[in-house]
């Protein structure tokens, strides 16, 4: 049966090639451009060659050949589906990682979501001037406030800072140094030239993602155990 089908396909290929030679100057063949028709013949010929090779390899093991062919068809379908829905799969992967990795942002379109941490606060892995900095969402902070370690990681010139801005902390009044951050990124939200403060050594344990960044967003709200940031 397979052998007969193979010869039928070969015959059809021969007819197709003959038609291609005879009607080459006509411009179209069976509604296809001549080049497209020739490409179709070439692809069918390649499939026949591969089929013949598989038949020659397996010969009397037709069942094994069929199983192998079905396996590769399934692999091709899975790859095609993965490529087609790659954006959705990426969103799912982001959400899973956001649940497993504290502070990781899950981006989807115009919004970014962060899961609440075990201590009840929203820790956010923020990219500042290209460096990853762990921050805490804080609407009570008038600006982004960085620890000395975070400022150093962001490449800020600590030796030239002027601690001239009075601030209130849990430990009382103190002073912080004003700076401008070139780039602040949370998930797919990016803001540039963001005013910030740098705390004096020992004054702050964790950097704060405050209102100088949050005010630039369309919205920031807490929904149950999720912090949802929406960019403009």
pLDDT tens-digit series, residues 11-67 = 666 666 666 555 555 556 666 666 666 666 666 666 666 666 666 666 656 666 556
pTM across the whole model: 0.58
Query: In this structure, how many other beta carbons lie within 10 angstroms of the beta carbon of residue 166?
Result: 9
Residue 23: inside a domain, yes or no? yes
Give 160-189 pLDDT, tens digit per residue. 899 999 988 766 788 999 999 999 999 889
For the chain, how many structural domains are there in total?
Answer: 2
Do 111 and 225 have their domain in common?
A: yes
- List the structure tokens of 35: 């080049």
Among 34, 58, 84, identify where a domain stops. 84
Instruction: Clarify whether residues 109 and 222 are in a common domain.
Output: yes
Whether residue 224 sits in one domain with residue 110:
yes
| Range of the structural domain that residue 12 is part of | 2-84
**Distance (Å, whole) CA 10 – CA 147:** 75
- Rounded mean pLDDT, 126-146: 93
Q: Record the tokens describing residue 94, joined without a space.
A: 């982001």
What is the CATH classification number for the domain harbouring 122?
2.40.70.10
pLDDT-based confidence at 95, cuts 50/70/90? Answer: low
Angstrom distance (rounded) from CA 184 to CA 180: 10
Give the pLDDT score at 92. Answer: 61
Using left for φ > 0, alpha for ψ between -120 and 50, and beta otherwise, residue 109 falls in left
Residue where a domain terminates, one of 52, 84, 116: 84
Domain membership flag for residue 136: yes
């Amino acid at each position: 049966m397979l052998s007969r089908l193979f010869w039928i396909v070969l015959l059809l290929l021969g007819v197709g090639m003959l038609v291609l030679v005879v009607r080459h100057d006509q411009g179209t063949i069976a509604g296809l451009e001549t080049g497209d028709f020739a490409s179709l013949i070439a692809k069918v010929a390649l499939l026949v060659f591969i089929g013949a090779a598989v038949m020659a390899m397996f010969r009397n093991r037709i069942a094994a050949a069929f199983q192998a062919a079905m396996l590769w068809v399934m692999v091709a379908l899975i790859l095609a589906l993965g490529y087609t829905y790659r954006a959705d799969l990426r969103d799912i992967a982001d959400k899973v990682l956001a649940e497993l990795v504290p502070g990781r942002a899950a981006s989807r379109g115009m919004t970014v979501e962060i899961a609440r941490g075990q201590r009840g606060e929203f820790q956010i892995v923020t990219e500042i001037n290209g460096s990853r900095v762990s921050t805490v969402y804080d609407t009570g902070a008038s600006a982004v406030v960085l620890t000395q370690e975070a400022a150093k990681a962001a490449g800020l010139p600590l030796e030239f800072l002027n601690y001239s801005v009075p601030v209130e902390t849990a430990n009382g009044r103190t002073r912080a140094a004003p700076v401008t951050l070139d780039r602040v990124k949370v998930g797919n939200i990016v803001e540039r030239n963001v005013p910030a403060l740098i705390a004096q050594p020992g004054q702050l344990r964790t950097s704060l993602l405050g209102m100088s960044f949050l005010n630039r967003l369309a919205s920031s709200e807490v929904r149950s155990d999720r912090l949802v940031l929406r960019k403009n």
